């Protein structure tokens, strides 16, 4: 029972570490996202959602570097092209979720003031973050299989049966009879 409890406790601690690292990278991404969003909104005449999409793309690029080289650096690193394609795909879905909230608030309800835009941008980021956490850890940055000792890796029942060896004779072989030519 203590082994199972230790295993569950170990898994919970691992998940807490993962959430903390994801949160650190995501927190930086939120600052980048909101900073670029407000910079674009105050220096250009772009519409709210367009400015938000640009800010989200900049944050996605920042986050990939943080996730690959900090939060998930201990994960499998083979298939970088596949990883980047999945990251881009799931990030695009997150972008739609995030900016869908802002779009609905701005054009659906007419809440387009600076404070309302930032509040709904933040709500959209939070909603998309839940999806991104699940998708990145499940599909993009897959966990490596646990390392086990070779003897413990295969149960005894699954090992092949030993091949029987012929018994050794203790008495010498009889002399062959001479051939009649």
Query: What digits encode the pLDDT tens for the residues 3-54?
Result: 666 688 988 998 899 899 999 999 999 999 999 999 999 999 999 999 999 9
161 CB-side CA count, 13 A: 3
Residue 26, classified by CB atoms within 10 Å of its CB into exposed (0-12), middle (13-18) or buried (19+), is buried
Q: How far is CA 52 from CA 43, 55, 155, 159, in A?
A: 14, 5, 54, 58
- Say what the pLDDT of residue 42 is: 95
The pLDDT value given to residue 3: 61
Cα distance between residue 132 and residue 160, in whole Å: 44
Q: What is the DSSP letter of 67?
A: I
Q: Identify the band that residue 86 occupies on the pLDDT scale cut at 50, 70 and 90.
A: very high
Instruction: Report whether 86 contacts 140 (CB < 8 A).
Output: yes
Rounded to an integer, the average pLDDT of 61-71 is: 92
| Whole-structure pTM value | 0.72
Write b or e for each residue in 114-132: b if 16 or more Cβ atoms lie within 10 A of its Cβ, otherwise e: eebbeebbbebbeebbeeb
Q: Which residue has the tokens 């083979």?
A: 78
Residue 149 has pLDDT above 90, yes or no: no
- For residues 177 and 19, the model is more confident at 19
Mean model confidence pLDDT for the chain: 86
Is pLDDT above 80 for 138?
yes
Higher local confidence (pLDDT), 45 or 172: 45
Q: What share of the chain is helix, strand, coil (3-state, %, to 5)?
A: 70, 0, 30
Higher pLDDT, 165 or 134: 134
What is the model's pLDDT at position 5? 66
CB-neighbour burial class of residue 48 (10 A; exposed 0-12, middle 13-18, buried 19+): buried
Q: Which two tokens stand for residue 123?
A: 């709500």
Q: What percent of the chain has pLDDT over 90?
A: 56
Q: What is the pLDDT of residue 79?
A: 82
Q: Two tokens at 140?
A: 């993009």
**65-78: average pLDDT:** 85
Confidence bin at 154 (pLDDT 50/70/90)? low
Rounded CA gap, 71 and 174, in Å?
75
């Amino acid at each position: 029972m203590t082994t199972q409890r230790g295993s569950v406790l170990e898994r919970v601690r691992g998940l807490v570490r993962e959430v903390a690292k994801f949160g650190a990278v995501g927190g930086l991404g939120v600052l980048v996202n909101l900073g670029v969003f407000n910079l674009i909104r105050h220096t250009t005449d772009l519409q709210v959602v367009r400015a938000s999409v640009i800010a989200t793309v900049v944050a996605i690029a920042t986050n990939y570097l943080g996730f690959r080289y900090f939060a998930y650096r201990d994960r499998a690193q083979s298939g970088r092209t596949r990883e980047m394609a999945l990251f881009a795909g799931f990030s695009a879905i997150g972008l739609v979720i995030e900016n869908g909230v802002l779009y609905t608030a701005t054009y659906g309800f007419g809440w387009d003031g600076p404070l309302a835009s930032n509040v709904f941008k933040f709500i959209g980021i939070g909603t998309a973050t839940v999806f991104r956490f699940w998708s990145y850890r499940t599909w993009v940055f897959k966990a490596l299989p646990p390392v086990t000792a070779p003897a413990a890796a295969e149960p005894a029942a699954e090992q092949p049966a030993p091949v029987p060896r012929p018994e050794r004779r203790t008495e010498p072989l009889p002399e062959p009879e001479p051939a009649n030519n």
